[in-house]
Structure formats: C-alpha cells, structure tokens
Amino acid sequence: MQVIILENPEEVAQHASQWVVELITKKAKPVLGLATGSTPISLYKNLVKSHQEDQIDFSHVTSFNLDEYHNIDIANEQSYRVFMKNHLFDKINIDQKNTHLPTCTQNENPRVQGLAYEEKIKHAGGIDLQILGIGANGHIGFNEPTSSLRSKTRIKTLTQQTLQDNSRLFKADEYQPTMAMTMGISTILDAKYVLLMATGTNKATAVNDMITGPLSAICPASALQLHEHAIIVLDKAAASELANQEYFIWANEEHQKINKTYGFFL
Ligand code: PGA
C-alpha cells in the first residue's frame, strides 16, 4: 500500500485528480471506476475544472460506478446515476453511453444483473483505476462488514450503521432504499490500480483497521492489503489513529520523486 497523508481534504482531492488526469491523458481507452458519497465530490469538482480550464478530454473514457440502489428509478434524485450526472457526467464531455452503474429493477434478477455487470467490465478491458471511499464501518462500495472477500457484483442489504450514516441525505418523509447492487471485493481487487480517499476523524478507526489491522471481512477495506497497487490518500484527521505516520510521510516523499520521473502508472 502506498499511504499518502496530506494536510486537508482539498489536498486529498487535488492529489486524487492528478492520478485521474494522468490516466485519461496517457491512455487511449481509459476505464475509470467511480464512487459516490461526500468524499469524491471535491475530486469531481477538480475534474470538471480541469475539463473547463485545461481542456482535459473525457470523450474516450469509459466508467463503471461501484454501486447503485436496488430498484430505484434512474431519474430519482437519490439515484447514484443522478448524483454522477450532477457532479460529473453532465459537466464534462464523457459519452454518457459509456458510463455504467450496476442497476437492478424489481423485475430483474439481481444475480443475472450482477453477472452482466462483471461481463461489461471485462468487455471494456477491466478497470484501470478504481476510485474508492471508505465507510466508518470499513465498507468499500456497499461491501458491508462480513462481505465475502471473493465477492463479485451482487445485491447487498445495507447495515443499520450505513443507513444511519446516509440518512442525512434523505428528507424525513423520503423513502430510503435498504438494498443496493455493488461491485464485490474481488471486482474491486481486479482493478489495475485502486485509489481510496478518506477525510475526517470519523474515518480514522476504519482507516487504521484497513492499513494495519488483520485482513478480515469485518473491515472489508482491509482486503486492499492484497492489492498490488493500492493508493490510500488521507487527510491528517483520517490518518490520526495511524501509528508510524513519520514513516508513511517519508516513504511518500521518496515515492513522489519516482512518480515525478516515471509517472504514476506502470
Ligand atoms: P462518504 O462515504 O464519502 O459519504 O463518507 C464513503 C463510503 O461510504 O464509501
């Protein structure tokens, strides 16, 4: 794992956007894995800015989102499709036909839908860079604690903690879905690079468990310890429970020298 500890959330977003911009400017057919939630919003703001001000082109990009609520209308304001349109897709020149979310309506078989999503990812050549957030309970995507470490895209029932954490986004009288389709942990581990962003003290315990804890289904993000190229970008608050911070800061300075000379990717 490459652990990068930065001063504040703005620096985290800035760093993450450098990875994305490098990928899409260097690769002919880049495949991006995207995430929803509060944390990546500032990354998307930076990407929109780089499109508007630096003419960064997204027309050749294919994207796959981590998750989507089960049986939600794609026009519903709470759907992750609308979230992505509002924060990114409608503001850049990506071809919306090449943007994918793991949908499943009431009349569709979630197992068939999950398999079809995996096939679409494979058909696109696999995900080059998967953006991730982390839940306070250690989830990645909607892979809640106790998720199988070998899981693929499938339907999951959300935990009370996740429902509680996300309830801030729903109005009092609004229906909050309790199930979602999500890429599995194995789907995420198959991405060539993963970049996890975490900010704020409410993530500090999950971040510490992910980096230094045992590999365990109780902290699904700990599965990233098995990934060949996992980049963990933290602000100081999210890193606050990590021992060995001096080592991570020093190792990152050394790493950045290599990145400067050879670029971020292999
Ligand atoms: P957040 O969610 O960015 O809204 O904190 C992260 C996640 O649950 O993956």
Q: Which of 165, 182, 203, 233 to mutate for ligand 1's pocket (most ligand atoms within 8 Å of CB)?
A: 165
Q: What is the pTM of this model?
A: 0.96
Q: pLDDT (tens digit, 9 = 90+) per residue, 29-54?
A: 999 999 999 999 999 999 999 999 99
- Residue 266: pLDDT over 90: no
- Pocket flag, ligand 1, residue 37 (CB < 6 Å): yes
Q: pLDDT (tens digit, 9 = 90+) per residue, 158-195?
A: 999 889 988 998 998 888 999 999 999 999 999 999 99
- Pocket flag, ligand 1, residue 30 (CB < 6 Å): no
Q: Please identify, by atom number, the ligand 1 atom nearest to the C-alpha of residue 140.
A: 9
* Tally of domains within the chain: 1
Q: Give catalytic residue positions.
A: 67, 137, 139, 144
- Pocket flag, ligand 1, residue 197 (CB < 6 Å): no
b/e per residue 60-80 (b: at least 16 CB within 10 A): ebbbbbbbbbbbbeeeeebbb
Q: State the pLDDT at residue 202.
A: 97
CA 46/CA 33 separation, integer angstroms: 17
Catalogue the long-range contacts made by 222-226 (C-beta closer than 8 Å, 24 or more residues apart): 222/138, 223/140, 223/149, 223/185, 223/188, 223/189, 224/1, 224/140, 224/188, 224/189, 224/194, 224/196, 225/1, 226/189
Q: Which of 38, 39, 87 to mutate for ligand 1's pocket (most ligand atoms within 8 Å of CB)?
A: 39
Q: Please identify, by atom number, the ligand 1 atom nearest to the C-alpha of residue 200.
A: 5
Six-digit token string for 204: 């500090």
The whole domain housing 28 covers: 2-262
Mean pLDDT across the chain, nearest whole number?
A: 96
Q: Domain of 167: which CATH number?
A: 3.40.50.1360
